[in-house]
Amino acid sequence: MAVDSALIVSGVTCSGSSGNSSSTTVLPELNCPLRHLQIPYEVDTAVETIEEITEVVEKAAEVVDKVAENIADHLPEGGKFRKTIDFIENVAEKTAKDAQLVEDIINKIQKVEEDVESIVGSLNGKANKPSK
């Protein structure tokens, strides 16, 4: 059976790209309705990775900002080194703010996802109840 891109799921069998029935647990990417189950997992994994990265970036930027501020306090106003440190401090502050904005956006997206899942769950519950 020739499968270019596949999803492997234990205990599930779908027809392969050649159309022949398979006894393996390989799900062709486009030929099986269970492929959509992998997408939310991949998105969740990507979101978690982005969250971790933004937290690290934000913390690093805050440390750079504090160090630059301490160094700047000991340098004369108007000097080249002071201007460079002030520039670094400003970049660090903006980076920390941007990282926080990314975290805020991710949190809002996750809240919307939870709300949608709740609505879909309640609709599924209503659909499964027998009518009176």
| 40-93 pLDDT tens trace | 777 788 888 999 999 999 999 999 999 999 999 999 999 999 999 999 999 999
pLDDT at res. 25? 45
* Distance from chain centroid for Cα 78: 43
**pLDDT above 70: residue 115:** yes
Listed by start position, the domains of the chain span 1-31, 39-127
CA distance 119 to 22: 37
pLDDT at res. 42? 77
AA identity, residue 115: D
pTM for this entry: 0.59
Quick one: what percent of the chain has pLDDT higher than 70? 66
Mean pLDDT (the chain, rounded):
77
pLDDT at res. 46? 86
pLDDT at res. 113? 85
Least confident of 1-5, 32-36, 57-61, 86-90: 1-5
* Distance from chain centroid for Cα 80: 40
CA distance 46 to 25: 25
pLDDT at res. 43? 78
